Structure 1
Amino acid sequence: MQDRNFIICISQTSWEGVFQKTIVQLMTELAPRHQVLFVDYQYTLKDWIMGLLGRVEVPLRESIRLRNPLTRKTLANGAQLYLWTPPVSLPVNWMPNRWHDRVMKWNVKRMLNSLRKVIPQIDTQPPLVVNAFNPVWGLPMLGQLNEKATIYYCFDEITIESWIARHGGRCEQEYLPKVDAVVTTSVTLRSAKSRLQPRAFCVKNGANYDLFSQARQLALNTDRSRLTVGYLGTSDNRIDLDLVEYCLRALPQVTFQFIGRITDEVVTQRLGGYPNVEFIKPVPPAELVPLLARLHVGIIPFTCNEHTYTIYPLKINEYLAAGIPVVSTRFSILDDFDQVVDFANEPAAFVDALKEALAGVSDERVEEFIETAASNSWVHRAEEFEDIMQQVFDAKLSEHVTPVEQD
């Protein structure tokens, strides 16, 4: 049994939200065995004003200290962790490099001054800092919390993400060699990041198995008379719209549901006119279960490019946990799923795979889906992450051990 560690996680995402987040799932499963402090999203002054106007969800009072920014959350697995809202920061993404870095140092210093007052209330041991896809904040934070190690958790290719690429790419290049290890969510990302940080590991995305497996039982009492193909997650430029349109025309009797955020208006422009397309707004994870129970097939129709090649899709295990057959393009290295997922890159082959899945699958096949998802649960992924934590601690310890001179 590994020692109980104090983990401070600083993320690029908020804890709350209406879509599944890898770092939230990981910290949830680490919380039963470790003391976790999750530093929530670093809301800027612009965010705060937008929140005041009711346009976005922002913890208004907590971020300006009119309410205690530290809360203790009880999670679905019975564990508890601490959630801390940082003070409002100045927006910097629009600034040129020199000014960006100067103002970021001020933002980080202000945040750390506030954070240091909170830490003694939670734990007294040196923390492990887990930085989740946030090198812009992580770089000035290095060595500032008396941390015993820093692990960079990288779940996407930062240079391709337009909202962070401007400063994120160059900050990550400087950050990677300075951290103690990098953990990625795909083998392709691990290969890319290992060029700057040789202590590189891969912990693939998992599934909230206990939640999504409920869809299988619910489906038995759900009206599934309407053939429905579903896509779960963000609809953006990763989707091969030519492929999807081909499927829509080839299967007019089948309803295609896109469940989640739409961040690329081209998706609605091209698909919104088809009578067999439905867009469903994002909902909290628990509300996804009845939606999944109505699906006959789950799809991942990603285009094949350098961005999608680095992805290990969260949704693949969620579909399988629900007992739903999956049809996907082979956009990345997904050999783990060769026995349970139908892969097709060409439109005609993709439609054929959909037709076969819509015709029904055996109970034995469904059990294969569920068993695969169970083996890829976040519980198991957290155990893999803990093994890496121990390797990092052992490596740090060996660096500080002075060899005994021989007589």
Structure 2
Amino acid sequence: MSDESKTSHNPLSDFQWVVFGPDWGRHPSSSQHLFSEFLGVSPVLWVETVGLRMPQFTMRDLRRSVQKIVDFISGRRRRFATVPNGLTVICPPTLPFTSFKFIRHLNVWLVRRSVEKATRRLHFSKHTLVVTTPAQGDFVGRLGEEKSIYYCADQYALWPGMNQQHISQMERLLTDRVDAIVAVSDLLAAQFQQSGKPLYTLNQGVNSVHFSRSQPQQSTGHFEIVYFGMIDERLDLDLILEVAHQLPKTVIRLIGPATVSLHKFVGVANIRVEPAIPYEDLPESLKTSNLFIIPFVLTELACSCSPLKIKEYLACARPVISTALPEAERLSSFVHVAKDRKAFVEAVTAATEGKLSFDVLGTQRFIESETWQAKAVEFGQFVRGLHA
């Protein structure tokens, strides 16, 4: 069979995507994982724009702002525009002050110029526009798209530092303009039930092959508990501290960028805070892990999220303990859900003693059915239905 014939029968073929998302390759997001599956089959124009949060006078925000300017002037992002896999990344100049109408009009003009130039060069004629945050609603209907979709992966108005009223207003505008909405959880989808738009729940996927590289497990002589991801307001630092005090012979590794003060952990010998590890290297660093935890405080923000890490943890073939997040409850056949702090500490203790049940084969079968490729096929079928 010819390559052309194979492509024509591929369920991921015959699409042209214009996707507004976070910086490609910086921190792999749900949207990046999803559209990576289309590469080599359907062309993807990835448009990096400013985030939702107003920049603050901090070193972190200053570095990000400088990097954005350098990316635009130097054209560094064009390194990703590799013809063989069909990915083109552009970084139009935009300003983050979206509460000002003039700035939003300016951003639309700047982005429209960049996108139209790129779609002409790529010979796009019937592309589907996918936006991933409320701030991108201004671009819907103005980029020559055939259909538009809001891919909602979080409840953005609840993020720390956000102007909740402003974000909610932009999301309502976006919802009115798009042709359809895809949400990563039933809880997020429920927000859009009254929109009258086609609505689909596409649960998070996982790169099971990537995280299976964390096997075979290696022993360091101590029991290792791991959390990787953002170390932010969602984490119950007191619960982590309690686990550390109750089980002083264990080692607790917290891997990722911290946006909150971790002064509580100063002097606690068995808590190790480590910087973020590149996605490519993460499985190798997890080979010594014995247990994964999701110790989130059950706030509205935490309960509204659908953490990517749950399935990534499970793909490592280790037990997972979580506080009672809705997404953890949904996966309670594979994740041990602790109803309160006492139950959480008891579950971790049981794990250290080898008494926490974990269905290795059942979890493996489940994870193999939850790949990002399977999610991309689902997504493609939904979009084909819209066109039909």
Distance apart, 1:215 and its partner CA: 0.6
Residues 1:328 and 2:350 aligned together: no
User: 1:270 — aligned with what?
Assistant: 264
Where do 5+ consecutive residues of structure 2 fail to align?
A: 1-8
Residues 1:4 and 2:14 aligned together: yes
User: 1:223 — aligned with what?
Assistant: 219
Amino acid at match of 1:259: I
2:157 to 153, 156, 159: 159
Where do 5+ consecutive residues of structure 1 fail to align?
A: 395-407
Worse overlay, 331-340 or 357-366: 357-366
State how far apart, in whole Å, the 1-side matches of 2:118 and 2:60 are. 25
Q: TM-score, normalised to structure 2's length?
A: 0.88
1:27 to 32, 35, 59: 35
State how far apart, in whole Å, the 2-side matches of 1:157 and 1:165 are. 13
Answer whether contact 2:17 2:128 (CA < 8 A) is retained.
Answer: yes
Distance apart, 1:354 and its partner CA: 1.2
Aligned residue runs from structure 1 range 2-401, under 5 A: 2=11, 4-11=14-21, 13-17=22-26, 19-42=27-50, 58=67, 60-64=69-73, 66-67=74-75, 70-73=78-81, 79-86=85-92, 88-93=93-98, 97=99, 100-133=100-133, 135-136=134-135, 138-166=136-164, 167-217=166-216, 219=217, 222-265=218-261, 268-360=262-354, 365-394=359-388
State how far apart, in whole Å, the 1-side matches of 2:384 and 2:64 are. 43
State how far apart, in whole Å, the 2-side matches of 1:68 and 1:365 are. 46
Answer whether contact 2:141 2:177 (CA < 8 A) is retained.
Answer: no
In structure 2, do the counterparts of structure 1 residues 57 and 387 end up closer, same or farther at CA, with 3 Å as the change threshold? farther
State how far apart, in whole Å, the 2-side matches of 1:162 and 1:303 are. 14
Matched residue count:
375
Secondary structure at 1:30 match in 2 = coil
State how far apart, in whole Å, the 2-side matches of 1:177 and 1:61 are. 35
Worse overlay, 22-31 or 303-312: 303-312
In structure 2, do the counterparts of structure 1 residues 307 and 272 end up closer, same or farther at CA, with 3 Å as the change threshold? same
Distance apart, 1:51 and its partner CA: 10
Let me know the Cα RMSD of the aligned residues: 2.9
Secondary structure at 1:118 match in 2 = helix
In structure 2, do the counterparts of structure 1 residues 51 and 356 end up closer, same or farther at CA, with 3 Å as the change threshold? closer
Answer whether contact 1:6 1:123 (CA < 8 A) is retained.
Answer: no
In structure 2, do the counterparts of structure 1 residues 111 and 199 end up closer, same or farther at CA, with 3 Å as the change threshold? same
Answer whether contact 2:179 2:197 (CA < 8 A) is retained.
Answer: no
Worse overlay, 147-156 or 337-346: 337-346
Answer whether contact 1:72 1:83 (CA < 8 A) is retained.
Answer: yes
Amino acid at match of 1:381: K
State how far apart, in whole Å, the 2-side matches of 1:352 and 1:276 are. 18
Q: TM-score, normalised to structure 1's length?
A: 0.84
State how far apart, in whole Å, the 2-side matches of 1:305 and 1:262 are. 19
Aligned-residue sequence identity (percent) comes to: 24
Distance apart, 1:273 and its partner CA: 3.3
In structure 2, do the counterparts of structure 1 residues 203 and 272 end up closer, same or farther at CA, with 3 Å as the change threshold? farther
Answer whether contact 1:43 1:58 (CA < 8 A) is retained.
Answer: no
In structure 2, do the counterparts of structure 1 residues 360 and 368 end up closer, same or farther at CA, with 3 Å as the change threshold? farther
